[in-house]
């Protein structure tokens, strides 16, 4: 039976993961938080919802322990942190997603399809996300995944198309850009929508998360998929068989 370690165990997601593992009767070999030793000796897979810096330290610990399944839910990585993390794919089985829910992973396909069909000169794309007041990164990992799906559909790079902030005398909307808006408040678990706007009609594709347990369930499924894979970089689309 797969033996799990849980990183960020006292956090909102860490607690949800421990609940799901306990309900399903899995062996929790280790739990750790900030300041604790990362001992992965007795674990096959670590589920990690922490911070980018912590995730890099955990990737190193996985590699030092001979290569482990590293399920990464942490968001807010800077480009250089992404590069550093990707370097571990030769040694670890990395399964990383900004959102482990089934719904968001289906939404990504729908967004890509719509973006491919709607002419960039006539249809503007705007991604909106809302989260609880304690979230520290923006736009959310999910919003960025949806932005990438839209950009892929259009055959452009999100890096070039992204407009993440508007304030003051912004000038008119640049055709072909993909805009992001961010709301933070209260206890919102996670709301995402992608608006396709033409002069006379609008399409909105959206997802609403009502409970963190759904992310935790997805992460556990990702780990169970990971123990059957070779070292490499995977995402939730692979786990769900969508790739
Ligand atoms: N991909 C997905 O489906 C989802 C991703 N997330 C992402 O997961 C991350 C965590 O979210 P959430 O649980 O709400 O955040 P929390 O702040 O509640 O939890 C993060 C936990 O990580 C701990 N931590 C910080 N540094 C380290 C370290 N070096 N080693 C081990 N543990 C550490 C924190 O401890 P301390 O408080 O002491 O600093 C805290 O317990 C965020 O990036 C969020 O965006 C969230 C939900 C779903
Ligand atoms: O921080 C959160 O809470 C969440 N973070 C993820 C993200 O950045 O998209 C996933 C989910 O929306 C909740």
The model's pLDDT over 47-73, given as tens digits with 9 standing for 90+, comes to: 999 999 999 999 999 999 999 999 999
**Cα 190 to Cα 168: distance, rounded to the nearest angstrom:** 28
**Cα 148 to Cα 171: distance, rounded to the nearest angstrom:** 24
- For the domain made up of 102-209, give the CATH fold: Dihydrodipicolinate Reductase; domain 2 (3.30.360)
For 3-96+212-239, the fitting CATH number among 3.80.30.20, 1.20.140.10, 3.30.365.10, 3.40.50.720 is 3.40.50.720
Angle at 220 between CA 79 and CA 66, to 5 degrees: 65
Out of 140, 191, 206, mutate this one to test ligand 2's pocket (max ligand atoms within 8 Å of CB): namely: 140
Question: Cα-flanking dihedrals φ and ψ of residue 50, to 5°?
Answer: -130, -115
Mean pLDDT, rounded, for 34-44: 96
What's residue 154's pLDDT? 98
70 lines ligand 2 (CB under 6 A): no
Measured in whole angstroms, the distance separating CA 142 from the mean position of its chain's CA atoms is: 5
Q: How far is CA 189 from CA 142, 204, 213, in A?
A: 12, 20, 10
**Cα 197 to Cα 6: distance, rounded to the nearest angstrom:** 42
Mean pLDDT, rounded, for 77-103: 98
Instruction: For the chain, give every domain's residue range.
Output: 3-96+212-239, 102-209
Q: How would you classify residue 66: left for phi > 0, otherwise alpha for psi between -120 and 50, otherwise beta?
A: left
Assess whether 192 carries a catalytic annotation.
no
List helix spans (H) across the chain: 12-23, 52-64, 79-86, 102-117, 141-154, 158-161, 213-226, 236-239
Neighbours of 89 (CB within 10 A): 16
What's residue 217's pLDDT? 98
Domains 3-96+212-239 and 102-209 share a fold: no
What's residue 224's pLDDT? 98
The model's pLDDT over 121-149, given as tens digits with 9 standing for 90+, comes to: 899 999 999 999 999 999 999 999 999 99
What's residue 59's pLDDT? 98
pLDDT more than 90, % of the chain:
98
The model's pLDDT over 103-114, given as tens digits with 9 standing for 90+, comes to: 999 999 999 999
The model's pLDDT over 156-212, given as tens digits with 9 standing for 90+, comes to: 999 999 999 999 999 999 999 999 999 999 999 999 999 999 999 999 999 999 999
Exposed/middle/buried for residue 62 (C-beta within 10 Å: 0-12, 13-18, 19+) = buried
What's residue 43's pLDDT? 98
Considering every ligand atom shown, identify the ligand nearest to the alpha carbon of residue 101 and give its number.
1
What's residue 40's pLDDT? 97
Atom of ligand 2 nearest to the CA of 136: 1
Considering every ligand atom shown, identify the ligand nearest to the alpha carbon of residue 219 and give its number.
1
Q: How far is CA 12 from CA 9, 212, 226, in A?
A: 8, 8, 23
Assess whether 159 carries a catalytic annotation.
no
Average pLDDT, rounded, for the chain: 98
**Cα 77 to Cα 144: distance, rounded to the nearest angstrom:** 11
In three-state secondary structure terms, 133 is coil
Task: Please give the ipTM for the structure prediction.
Answer: 0.99
From first CA to last CA, the distance across the chain in angstroms is 27
The pairing of beta strand 190-197 with beta strand 3-7:
unpaired
What's residue 231's pLDDT? 98
The structure's pTM equals 0.98
Q: Which of 68, 70, 131, 148 is flagged as catalytic?
A: 131
Q: What is the 3-state secondary structure (H, E, C) of 167-203?
A: CCCCCCCCCCCEEEEEEECCCCCEEEEEEEECCCCEE
What's residue 8's pLDDT? 98
Atom 11 (ligand 2): residue with closest C-alpha?
A: 190
Max distance between CA atoms of the chain, in angstroms, equals: 60
> Dihedral of CA 144/149/154/159: which sign?
positive
């Amino acid at each position: 039976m797969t033996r799990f370690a849980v990183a960020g165990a006292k956090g909102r997601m860490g607690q949800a993961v421990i609940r799901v593992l306990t309900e399903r009767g899995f062996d929790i070999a280790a739990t750790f938080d900030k300041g604790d030793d990362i001992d992965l000796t007795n674990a096959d897979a670590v589920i990690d919802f922490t911070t980018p810096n912590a995730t890099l330290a955990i990737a190193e610990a996985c590699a030092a322990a001979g290569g482990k399944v590293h399920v990464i839910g942490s968001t807010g990585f800077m480009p250089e942190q992404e590069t550093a993390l990707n370097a571990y794919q030769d040694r670890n089985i990395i399964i990383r997603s900004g959102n482990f829910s089934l719904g968001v992973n289906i939404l990504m396909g729908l967004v890509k399809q719509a973006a491919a069909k709607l002419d960039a000169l006539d249809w503007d794309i705007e991604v909106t996300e809302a989260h609880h007041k304690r979230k520290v990164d923006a736009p959310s990992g999910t919003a960025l995944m949806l932005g990438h799906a839209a950009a892929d559909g259009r055959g452009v790079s999100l890096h070039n198309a992204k407009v993440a902030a508007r304030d003051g005398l912004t000038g008119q909307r640049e055709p072909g850009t993909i805009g992001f808006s961010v709301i933070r408040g209260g206890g919102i678990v996670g709301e995402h929508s992608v608006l396709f706007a033409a002069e006379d009609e609008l399409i909105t594709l959206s997802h609403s998360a009502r409970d963190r347990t759904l992310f935790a369930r997805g992460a556990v499924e990702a780990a169970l998929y990971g123990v059957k894979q070779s070292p490499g970089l995977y995402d939730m689309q692979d786990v769900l068989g969508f790739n």
